[in-house]
């Protein structure tokens, strides 16, 4: 794993306005890259809509996009233009109307999507089978990059994270839609692996290097 600069962007979104929010993502990506020399930029959970949209699964499916697709393309282009990695969390369309995943896309400096992670531990009220809108993901991969071996988790996943360190993850990027005081602490699994797993979180706009506790970040008005 190489030394690099990671930035977390905590931005004010326009609820359910995907195009506007993607424009904001591109703006803050460029700001992080140009003003802070960031090599990787991490955004909060469901950045393109907000977490609670007020839509059921079919209505939400109609309003979001696929990964990759028009929803991600402006961010991919910006990542390529600035030569940075980006963790872009968003709801995304599944293969059929009504299948919606709470996902994070890892975009490489060439603008291509390296991998997509679908949240494996949605909050109970978020899950379709509990009356919510999200379909549960079923895979937890890690990805070899020029920065190191990266894993991604989303919000509530952090209470259950076990597998990525065993799969060789050196860096764990965690996005969430808020930052309650009791969410600031690292998840128990990350604490147990503090000797070889580093976790970075967005939602609090803080970078947390497990063991050293370094902090940095970006915040919009």
Q: CATH number, domain at 194?
A: 3.60.110.10
Question: Is position 60 within any domain?
Answer: yes
Question: Is position 1 within any domain?
Answer: no
Expressed as residue numbers, the domain containing 215 is 6-219
CA dist 195 and 156 (Å) reads: 22
Question: Is position 167 within any domain?
Answer: yes
Question: Is position 158 within any domain?
Answer: yes
Question: Is position 43 within any domain?
Answer: yes
CA dist 141 to 65, 114, 138, 190, 196, Å?
Answer: 22, 11, 10, 16, 17
Task: Give the pLDDT means over successive 10-residue stretches in the chain (221 positions).
Answer: 87 94 97 96 94 96 97 98 97 97 98 97 92 94 93 85 75 78 47 42 38 32 32
Residue 169: its pLDDT value, please? Answer: 83
Question: Is position 137 within any domain?
Answer: yes
Q: Where are the alpha helices (DSSP H) in the chain?
A: 18-36, 57-63, 73-82, 163-166, 188-192
Q: What angle do CA 9, 10, 14 make, to 5 degrees?
A: 115
CA dist 154 to 19, 34, 38, 130, 191, Å?
Answer: 22, 27, 21, 19, 17
Query: Considering its fold, how many domains does the chain have in total?
Result: 1
Residue 178: its pLDDT value, please? Answer: 67
Residue 161: its pLDDT value, please? Answer: 67
Range 195-208 burial, b when 16+ CB lie within 10 A, else e: eebbbbbbbbbbbb
Question: Is position 135 within any domain?
Answer: yes
CA dist 79 and 107 (Å) reads: 7
Question: Is position 172 within any domain?
Answer: yes
Instruction: Name the pairing type of β-strands 198-202 and 218-219.
Output: unpaired
């Amino acid at each position: 794993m190489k030394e690099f600069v990671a930035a977390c962007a905590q931005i004010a979104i326009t609820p359910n306005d995907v195009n506007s929010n993607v424009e904001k993502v591109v703006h803050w990506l460029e700001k992080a890259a140009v003003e802070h020399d960031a090599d990787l930029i991490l955004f909060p959970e469901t950045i393109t809509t907000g977490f609670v949209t007020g839509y059921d699964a079919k209505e939400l499916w109609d309003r979001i996009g696929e990964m990759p697709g028009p929803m991600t393309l402006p961010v991919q282009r910006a990542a390529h233009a600035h030569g940075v990695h980006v963790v872009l969390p968003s709801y995304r369309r599944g293969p059929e109307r009504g299948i919606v995943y709470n996902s994070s896309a890892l975009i490489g400096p060439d603008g291509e999507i390296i991998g997509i992670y679908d949240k494996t531990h949605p909050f109970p009220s978020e899950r379709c089978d509990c009356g919510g809108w999200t379909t549960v993901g079923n895979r937890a991969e890690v990805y070899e990059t020029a920065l190191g071996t990266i894993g991604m988790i989303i919000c509530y996943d952090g209470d259950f994270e076990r597998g990525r360190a065993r799969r060789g993850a050196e860096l764990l990027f965690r996005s969430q839609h808020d930052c309650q005081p009791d969410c600031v602490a690292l998840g128990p699994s990350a604490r147990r692996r503090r000797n070889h797993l580093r976790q970075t979180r967005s939602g609090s706009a803080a970078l947390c290097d497990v063991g050293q506790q370094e902090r940095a970040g970006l915040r919009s008005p």
